[in-house]
């Protein structure tokens, strides 16, 4: 790769600064520009001024600027020089296409202009105006959101010594403390992880339309669900095997939830028994002289109904107020990282909800076997014979009617992302609908939960509470979810990052960060209370790329 330094004014006829051109054939590059400029076959169109280094459309810490050249004798023809995009600080990507369809790519590195001399009268421009991409050139690929957490600038090694100031910081800290198997188990999703990425990316498609000159001297973030008042429309979603994150796992989460005044949904596959989890939260409520916190049990229905029924009865006896029936997992999704890492529960941990039940699930026995523990082959056969596996034949009538017959707890159906299923849920008189795609861990390529939310809210809002999870890492994410119709948003991975960072205190920090960001987002949007958050607060970018379309 040959490098040549030219002045950018050779291209723009304006002195913007020095540019370093990287091209496969440097003489060809210079000849092309000499030829195009001297023959005047091209003219520059759309220049404004050089973009300020602090401004511009953000791609994390990078900016995007676009330039365009057209044939001077016929502006109806498509531009040959289709775009120049700054992708990383100081770098531009240039694509040139010839009339024969041949394409050349160049990378230019811009430097800030040298100090002006007294003999020069030219003024260095300060901004470059953005112009649309050519239809002939596809946009550059979306950056890897899994690695950038919605394009937030990541912490450097020196900054990791500082306290986290956002959920992305918590994840950075967690990554340094967790082994690869555990971090990827929590972080990753199914197959190519398209749904994981889209859950995060969806929030960027909805833009806030803040209202001003409204009294937000006091902002009330509290909300009511099932007749109970919570400190904000945020809850803790079920996440399996939390002791993998370190500390006391689900016990730390329970205590943090009780102190924060938010509901907690416990996973069937917790590494702490449901009785211990609710007792830990009740103790905190008593010590803090607070109302008792609400606890819900997430439930998989096994083919062997007796196994599931025992869990339901135990939860009700312990004081759980709702069952959250997971319906998006008749089969388990394929997660490449778990296969590559040979994921298994470490030998010192166990699935607390099955301890002492006198039953062994097939998955539990397989884990024991992979841990190197002795497992009688007849036990595996017995687990299959006992049908202690998820029931893939479960139907609406079968599931809801059966649960109604064995418990008085509220029944919440988790895993809906379509209007059709929401209508069926209403027909079966469920107590709430939980929009979820399992954090992108089941069907890869399915719709993001935020995009599914308006469709379900259209038929269910006001009839039953609408719960929601998927990619919530900002206070404004909660704000957007509520504006689109959710009564409460839930977080899973953010809790796990807090656990890994500092146990109970880390979970409290995660909840506190989201609470303060949500409160700030409300204030800056002109909302003094949760009831002020309406659909009109949001817009989407128009299809032509100009302006917002109101919802």
Euclidean distance between CA atoms 81 and 98, whole angstroms: 9
In the Cβ-directed half-sphere of 66, how many Cα atoms lie within 13 Å? 13
- CA 480 to chain CA centroid, nearest Å: 13
Verify whether residue 428 is a known catalytic residue.
no
**Sequence-ordered alpha helix ranges (H) in 261-388:** 274-287, 305-318, 336-340, 362-370, 377-385
- The long-range contacts involving 370-378, CB below 8 angstroms and separated by at least 24 positions, are 370/342, 370/344, 371/344, 371/345, 371/346, 371/347, 372/347, 373/347
Query: Rounded to whole angstroms, what are the CA distances from 353 to 4, 60, 421?
Result: 67, 42, 30
Euclidean distance between CA atoms 330 and 389, whole angstroms: 10
Query: Rounded to whole angstroms, what are the CA distances from 99 to 38, 69, 346, 446, 480?
Result: 19, 14, 61, 40, 45
Euclidean distance between CA atoms 493 and 185, whole angstroms: 10
Euclidean distance between CA atoms 264 and 270, whole angstroms: 13
Q: 3-state SS string over 163-213?
A: CCCCHHHHHHHHHHHCCHHHHHHHHCCCCCCHHHHHHHHHHHHEEECCCCC
Length of the chain: 551
Closest by alpha carbon to 479, among 545, 535, 407, 406?
Answer: 535
Query: CB count, 10 Å around CB of 22?
Result: 17
Euclidean distance between CA atoms 431 and 463, whole angstroms: 9
Backbone angles phi, psi at 50, to 5 degrees: -65, 135
Closest by alpha carbon to 346, among 492, 179, 188?
Answer: 179
Closest by alpha carbon to 177, among 239, 243, 245?
Answer: 245
Sheet holding 538-541, edge to edge: 206-208, 538-541, 548-550
Extract the tokens encoding 427: 């027909």
Extract the tokens encoding 31: 């000849």
The CA dihedral of 21, 27, 32, 37, to the nearest 10 degrees, is 80
In the Cβ-directed half-sphere of 518, how many Cα atoms lie within 13 Å? 30
Query: Rounded to whole angstroms, what are the CA distances from 88 to 20, 61, 109, 168?
Result: 15, 7, 10, 20
Catalytic site residues? 438
């Amino acid at each position: 790769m040959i490098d040549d330094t030219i002045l950018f004014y050779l291209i723009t006829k304006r002195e913007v600064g020095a540019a370093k051109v990287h091209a496969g054939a440097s003489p060809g590059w210079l000849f092309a520009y000499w030829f195009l400029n001297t023959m005047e076959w091209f003219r520059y169109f759309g220049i404004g001024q050089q973009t300020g280094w602090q401004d511009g459309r953000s791609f994390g810490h990078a900016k995007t600027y676009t330039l365009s050249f057209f044939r001077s004798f016929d502006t109806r023809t498509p531009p040959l020089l289709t775009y120049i995009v700054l992708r990383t600080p100081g770098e531009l990507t240039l694509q040139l296409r010839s009339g024969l369809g041949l394409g050349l790519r160049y990378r230019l590195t811009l430097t800030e202009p040298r100090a002006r001399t007294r003999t020069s009268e030219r003024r260095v421009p300060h901004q470059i105006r953005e112009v649309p991409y050519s239809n002939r050139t596809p946009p550059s690929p979306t950056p890897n959101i899994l690695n950038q957490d919605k394009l937030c600038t990541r912490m450097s090694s020196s900054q990791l010594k500082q306290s986290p100031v956002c959920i992305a910081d918590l994840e950075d800290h967690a990554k340094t403390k967790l082994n690869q198997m555990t971090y990827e188990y929590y972080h990753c999703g199914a197959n190519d992880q398209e749904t994981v990425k889209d859950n995060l990316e969806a929030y960027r498609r909805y833009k806030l339309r803040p209202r001003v000159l409204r009294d937000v001297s006091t902002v009330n973030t509290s909300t009511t669900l099932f007749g109970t008042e919570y400190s904000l429309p945020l809850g803790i979603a079920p996440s399996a095997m939390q002791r993998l994150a370190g500390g006391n796992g689900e016990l730390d989460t329970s205590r943090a939830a009780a102190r924060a005044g938010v509901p907690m949904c416990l996973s069937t596959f917790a590494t702490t028994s449901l009785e211990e989890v609710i007792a830990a939260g009740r103790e905190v409520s008593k010590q803090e002289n607070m109302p008792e916190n609400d606890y819900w049990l997430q439930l998989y229905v096994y083919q062997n109904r007796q196994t599931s029924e025992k869990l339901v009865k135990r939860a009700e006896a312990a004081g759980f107020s709702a069952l959250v029936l997971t319906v998006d997992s008749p089969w388990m999704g394929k997660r490449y990282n778990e296969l590559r890492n040979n994921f298994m529960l470490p030998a010192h941990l166990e699935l607390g909800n099955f301890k002492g039940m006198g039953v062994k699930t097939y998955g539990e026995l397989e884990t024991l076997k992979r841990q190197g523990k002795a497992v009688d082959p007849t036990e595996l056969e017995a687990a299959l014979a006992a049908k202690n596996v998820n029931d893939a034949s479960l139907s609406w009538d079968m599931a809801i009617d059966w649960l109604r017959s064995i418990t008085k707890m509220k029944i919440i159906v988790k895993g809906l992302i379509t209007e059709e299923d929401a209508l069926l849920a209403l027909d079966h008189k469920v107590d709430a609908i939980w929009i979820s795609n399992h954090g992108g861990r089941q069907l890869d390529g399915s719709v993001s939960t935020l995009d599914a939310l308006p469709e379900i809210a259209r038929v269910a809002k006001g009839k039953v509470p609408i719960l929601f999870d998927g990619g919530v890492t900002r206070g404004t994410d909660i704000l957007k979810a509520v504006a689109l119709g959710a009564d409460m948003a839930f977080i899973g991975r953010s809790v796990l990052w807090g656990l890994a960072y500092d146990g109970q205190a880390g979970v409290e920090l995660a909840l506190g960060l989201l609470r303060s960001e949500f409160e700030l987002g409300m204030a800056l949007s002109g909302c003094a209370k949760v009831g002020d958050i309406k659909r009109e607060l949001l817009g989407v970018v128009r299809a032509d790329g100009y302006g917002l379309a109101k919802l």
